[in-house]
Amino acid sequence: MCAHRIPNLQIAEKQQPLLILPHEFTAASQGAVQMRIKSSQSPGERLSQSKSMVLQDFDLPQKPISRHRRNQSQHNVGGAGVIEISVELKGEYLNKAKILESGKKLRKNWASTWVVLDTDQLLFYKDSKQEVVTNLKTGCKADGVDLCGAVIEWTTQKSSRKNVFQITTNSGSEYLLQADSYSTICKWYNAIKKTVNSLSKGDGGFVPGKAGLRRSNSTEYLPRDGSLPGNGSSSPSSKQRHPGHRRSLNMFTSSKLKHSMSDSADKNGVKNRLKKFIIRRPSMKTLQEKGIIKDRVFGCHLLTLCEREGTTVPRFVKSCLEAVEKRGLEVDGLYRVSGNLATIQKLRFIVDQEEELNLDSSQWEDIHVVTGALKLFFRELPEPLFPFRFFELFVEAIKTKDRMQNVQAVKKLVHQLPKPNQDTMKLLFSHLQRVLVYSSKNLMSTQGISIVFGPTLMWPELDSGNMAVNMVYQNQVVEFILIESQEIFDLDKK
C-alpha cells in the first residue's frame, strides 16, 4: 500500500496542493491536519493520501489522531497546548540577566526585557516597540541567543529569585530568565526546551511556526523541503543525518571543565609573567644613571646629599636659615606654629625636582611654611642629625651633675660626628642662638625650642624603651647643647 501511494504523492506535489498550516487552526485542533491529494492520472477515481502536519512533542507520548473534522474543530483534544504556545510566545516581558560571556563571568544585572522566541534563537528587545522598529528597518539586529546546541535547566543556585531557569549556549554564554508568575515562566521553559530538542535532532524537528511533515501511523519525519526517501535526499535517522549537533553538544558538556582549567592556567601564567618582570626589572642605580629616577633631597641620607652637592651643609638648609634670619626672627611662635601643609608639600616637590628655588618669592611669603619645610627635612632623614649610635652616648653625657664635665663630654661626642653632621649641627644651633636673641618678640625660649627640635633632631633606632622617657632625654640634650653651644662649637672664636 505504501509503494502504491508514493508515486501519487510525487505527482500531487507537482500540482501544488493546498496545505493548511497549524496556525490557521484554533487551540482546539488535534495537532494533525489531513491533506487530500488528487491524482491527475485517474479523474474518475478519487485517491486520497493523508499526511500529518505534526508538532513534535518530545516530552509527551503521541496520542491517537481523530479522523473526524467535526471532532477536530469542536473538541479540545490532543496537542492543544503546543499550538497555544506557538501563538502566545510571540513576545512577552521577562526578567533577564547575563552572567557569563564566552566563559568570562559578568556582573549579574537583572533587567525587564521583551522576549521573542524565533525559529532557532531567542531574541531580546528593550521593549515591544523596539521589536517593531527592528523588523521594519533592515540592518537593525536585536540581541539574540542561538539555541542550537544550547542547554536549558531550572536553577536555584544562580539567583535568590524564584522561578528562574538558565540557558547555556554552545559558545559558553549563560543567561537567566525569570518571571513572577510560575505559569508564565513554565510556559517559556517548555517552549524553549522543545525548540532546543528539535534543533538537536535535526531539521525535521519542531520549530515554532515551521512544523515537519510526518506520515500517518508513522514516526518517521519528512524534511520541510518536500523531498522523499525514494529520491535519495534523506536518511531515516536524524542523528545520523546531523552528527555535527552531537559534536556541538559533546563540546559544550566539557566547556565548563575547559573554562576551569583555563582559569587556573591563566593564573599560573600571570604569576610566571610577574616573576619574570621582577627578575628583569632594572636596579635603582641603573634608573638613576638613565635619569628616570632623580635623586631626592627630602629622605636622602645626609652624607649622600652632601657628597652630591659637594658641601658639608645641604644647600636647602642654608637657604631656609637665611630666609628665616632675613624676615622671620621677630615672628611670633617661630618654629612652634605650623605652616600650611599643602604649601609645604609644594615646596618639597620643587626641591626634590631640583628646580630653581627662590624663597623670597611671594608664594613662600609665610615664614611658617619655610620653617615647616626645614623641620620636615630633618624628620625625613633616614638617620637623624644625631646618628643612632650616638643616642645613648649623648644621653649619658648630660646625666652627671658636673656642668663642665657634661660640656666636655658633649663637645667630645660632637667632634666624633661625621663632618656633614657636625657642620650642619653647628650652623643650626648658631642660628637658634640668634632666634633666642629675639625671644621677647617671637616668644620662643630655650625650653620651647628644645621641645620642637628634640624629637626632630634625634631619636633611637629601636623604640624598645619608654617613649616618654626618650622624649625627655631628647629635649634635655638639645636644650643643653643650645645653652652651651658657644663652648661646644667654639662660636666665640670666629
> What are the tens digits of pLDDT across the range 187-222?
889 988 888 888 877 644 444 434 344 444 444 444
Contacts of 30 (CB under 8 A, 6+ apart): 65, 66, 71, 72, 77, 78, 79
Q: Are residues 327 and 473 in the same domain?
A: yes
- Give which of 148, 166, 167 is closest to 157, Cα–Cα: 166
Q: Are residues 324 and 462 in the same domain?
A: yes
- Give which of 202, 153, 142, 201 is closest to 177, Cα–Cα: 153
Is the separation of the CB atoms in 177 and 159 below 8 Å?
A: no
- Give which of 401, 337, 398 is closest to 366, Cα–Cα: 337
> Any idea what the CATH number is for the domain that residue 134 is in?
2.30.29.30
C-alpha cell at 104: 568570562
Residue 471 lies inside a defined structural domain of this protein: yes
d(CA 417, CA 269): 53
Is the separation of the CB atoms in 33 and 79 below 8 Å?
A: no
Q: What is the reported pLDDT for 262?
A: 61
- Domain end position, chosen among 165, 199, 233: 199
C-alpha cell at 276: 619574570
d(CA 282, CA 373): 32
Residue 361 lies inside a defined structural domain of this protein: yes
Q: How many CB atoms lie within 10 A of CB 31?
A: 24
Residue 455 lies inside a defined structural domain of this protein: yes
- Domain end position, chosen among 180, 199, 218: 199
- Give which of 69, 77, 28, 32 is closest to 54, Cα–Cα: 32
AA identity, residue 19: L
> Any idea what the CATH number is for the domain that residue 378 is in?
1.10.555.10
> What are the tens digits of pLDDT across the range 352-372?
987 788 999 999 999 999 999
Residue 316 lies inside a defined structural domain of this protein: yes
Q: What is the pTM of this model?
A: 0.45
User: How many domains does the structure of the chain reveal?
Assistant: 2
Give 275 or 20, the one with higher predicted confidence.
275
Give 31 or 260, the one with higher predicted confidence.
260
Helix ranges, 75-224 (H): 80-88, 128-136, 182-201
Residue 8 lies inside a defined structural domain of this protein: no
Q: Is the pLDDT at 58 greater than 50, yes or no?
A: no
Q: Are residues 485 and 367 in the same domain?
A: yes
Owning domain of residue 366? 302-489
d(CA 458, CA 391): 7
Q: Are residues 313 and 194 in the same domain?
A: no
Q: How confident is the model at residue 102 (pLDDT cuts 50, 70, 90)?
A: confident
Residue 306 lies inside a defined structural domain of this protein: yes
Backbone angles phi, psi at 165, to 5 degrees: -130, 160
- Domain end position, chosen among 174, 199, 224: 199
Q: Are residues 317 and 441 in the same domain?
A: yes
Residue 338 lies inside a defined structural domain of this protein: yes
